[in-house]
Structure 1
Amino acid sequence: MSAVANPATVEDCLRVGAGFTQGDRNWIAEQFATLDARLAAFHADTTELEVSVKDRAARGQKVTLECWIAGRQKVVTTSLEDDLHAALNDVRDDLRRKLNDAKTKQEPRHNRHLRDNSLPEETELPEALQD
Structure 2
Amino acid sequence: MSAVANPATVAECLRVGAGFSQGDRNWIAEQFATLDARLASFHADATELEVSVKDREARGQKVTLECWIAGRQKIVTTSSEEDLHAALNDVRDDLRRRLNDAKTRQEPRHNKHLREEGQPGPGAPSTDDTAEAPAESGVA
Q: TM-score, normalised by structure 1?
A: 0.85
1:76 is aligned to 76
Q: 1:37 corresponds to which residue?
A: 37
Aligned counterparts of 2:16 and 2:79: Cα–Cα separation in 1: 16
Shift, 1:125, TM fit: 7.7
SS in 2 for 1:76: strand
Bigger-Rg structure (1/2): 2
Q: Are 2:102 and 1:96 aligned?
A: no
* Equivalent residue, structure 1, for 2:8: 8
Question: Percent sequence identity over matched residues?
Answer: 83
- CA RMSD in angstroms comes to 1.7
Distance 1:23 1:126 in 2: 71
Structure 2, unaligned runs of 5 or more: 119-126, 133-140
Where 2:28 maps in the other structure, the secondary structure is helix
- 1:28 counterpart residue number: 28
Which residue of structure 2 aligns with residue 46 of structure 1? 46
**Mind listing any 5+ residue stretches in structure 1 that lack a counterpart?**
115-121
Q: Give the distance between the partners of 2:131 and 2:36, measured in 1 at CA.
A: 50
CA distance in 2, matches of 1:125, 1:84: 62
Q: Which residue of structure 2 aligns with residue 119 of structure 1?
A: none
Partner of 2:137: none
Pick closer, same or farther for the CA change 1:124–1:38 going to 2, 3 Å: same
Amino acid at match of 1:55: D
**Cross-structure match for 1:59:** 59
